[in-house]
């Protein structure tokens, strides 16, 4: 089979460990985005098959354990107290209620349970409750994940000792575009938390949001930032912006669907050993678009009809789609 010269000229060599792994430049990432669509998806699918079962998709359920009232100004977020989005503020859920939700998720086929709280960072009194949640969900035999904002002191170590498998902390967007989206904390703050999570021996879940006006160069830069970490995230969620009325990005122009697939494919090529998660925005995607994303290397989804505060496809719809595509859950 003959590939185009453009496809041959882009170095997409995966490596078994971080020390041997290549570093990417934004120019190289942009060159991947510029490949003919079929060549790009073909290359991504090749690398996907070299590293994963091409017909298996990991399923996670995400629950908002503390909703609304966040002090941060993330321009995409319905939970910021700075924006009038019609979202009711809710206190931290009880441990027993969270465990019951996790039990239901496991019964429906989820292997990982993710708990998200709308905080800049957790206070010590809140940490005790979250640690209990992690221990109880872990006892169900599920992988555990939390997203609690920025960590301090020994909080990452406490989470590790409680049995946490993954910590989600997205870098959100390209470094050069960051202050156009968030001003109340810096990218360096986010990277510091990721370092603490790594140092505690917890797997990192970190990705970003596309469709916020960042342009193709910004999408390339976002992926370079993730791929060039000392150790790329084990899980990379790629979110397609859900424009929330009342937020500064409510009128953002929708991203071209093929450009979104390209982003998935480039993520797969640049991070061949990571799970690439098809995350926010799936409710607005056709089955055909999702199938293209799986072809391009996505092998993880959020499963269940709610994604923090936005809609997600019903489990029955996902089951039907998996059956049509011959996909198996991990």
Of 21, 43, 112, 145, the catalytic one is 145
Of 70, 219, 268, 293, the catalytic one is 70
H or E element, residue 87: none
Per DSSP, the three-state class of 246 is coil
Residues in the chain: 330
H or E element, residue 114: strand 112-117
Of 190, 219, 277, 282, the catalytic one is 277
Is the distance from CB of 114 to CB of 61 less than 8 angstroms? yes
Is the distance from CB of 67 to CB of 34 less than 8 angstroms? no
Q: Does the annotation mark 77 as catalytic?
A: yes
- Burial class of residue 206 (count of CB atoms within 10 Å of its CB; 0-12, 13-18, 19+): buried
Best CA proximity match to 167, nearest among 128, 207, 139, 125: 207
Q: Does the annotation mark 70 as catalytic?
A: yes
Q: What are phi and psi of 27, to 5 degrees?
A: -60, -45
Of 21, 43, 59, 74, the catalytic one is 74
Q: Does the annotation mark 74 as catalytic?
A: yes
Cα separation, 233 vs 101, in Å, equals: 27
Of 21, 59, 77, 262, the catalytic one is 77
Cα separation, 292 vs 263, in Å, equals: 12
Q: Does the annotation mark 145 as catalytic?
A: yes
First-to-last alpha carbon distance for the chain, in angstroms, is: 31
Q: Does the annotation mark 205 as catalytic?
A: yes
Helices (DSSP H) in 78-214: which residue ranges?
95-107, 124-139, 155-162, 187-199
DSSP state of 35: S
Of 114, 190, 219, 293, the catalytic one is 114
Q: Which residues are tagged catalytic?
A: 70, 74, 77, 114, 145, 205, 277
């Amino acid at each position: 089979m003959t590939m185009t010269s453009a496809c041959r000229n882009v170095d997409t060599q995966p490596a078994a460990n971080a020390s041997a792994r290549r570093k990417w430049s934004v120019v190289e990432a942009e060159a991947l985005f510029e490949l003919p669509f079929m060549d790009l998806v073909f290359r991504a699918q090749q690398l996907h098959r070299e590293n994963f079962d091409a017909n298996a998709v990991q399923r996670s359920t995400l629950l908002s354990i503390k909703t609304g009232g966040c002090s941060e100004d993330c321009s995409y977020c319905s939970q910021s107290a700075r924006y009038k989005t019609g979202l009711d503020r809710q206190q931290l859920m009880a441990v027993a209620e969270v465990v019951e939700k996790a039990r239901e998720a496991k019964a429906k086929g989820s292997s990982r349970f993710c708990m998200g709280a709308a905080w800049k960072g957790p206070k010590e009194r809140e940490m005790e409750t979250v640690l209990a949640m992690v221990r109880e969900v872990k006892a169900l035999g599920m992988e555990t994940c939390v997203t609690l904002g920025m960590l301090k002191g020994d909080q990452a170590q406490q989470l590790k000792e409680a049995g946490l498998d993954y910590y989600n902390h997205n870098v959100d967007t390209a470094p050069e575009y960051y202050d156009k989206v968030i001003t109340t904390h810096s990218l360096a703050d986010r990277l510091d938390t990721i370092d603490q999570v790594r140092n505690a021996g917890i797997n990192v879940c970190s990705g970003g949001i596309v469709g916020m006006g960042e342009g193709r160069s910004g999408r390339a830069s976002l992926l370079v930032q993730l791929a060039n970490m000392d150790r790329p995230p084990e899980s990379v969620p790629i979110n397609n912006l859900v424009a929330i009325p009342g937020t500064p990005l409510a009128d953002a122009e929708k991203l071209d669907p093929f450009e979104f697939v390209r982003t998935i494919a480039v993520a797969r090529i640049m991070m061949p050993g990571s799970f690439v998660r098809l995350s926010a925005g799936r409710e607005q995607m056709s089955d055909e678009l999702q199938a293209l994303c799986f072809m391009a290397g996505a092998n993880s989804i959020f499963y269940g009809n709610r994604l923090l505060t936005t809609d997600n496809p019903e489990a029955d719809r996902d089951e039907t789609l998996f059956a049509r595509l011959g996909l198996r859950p991990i």
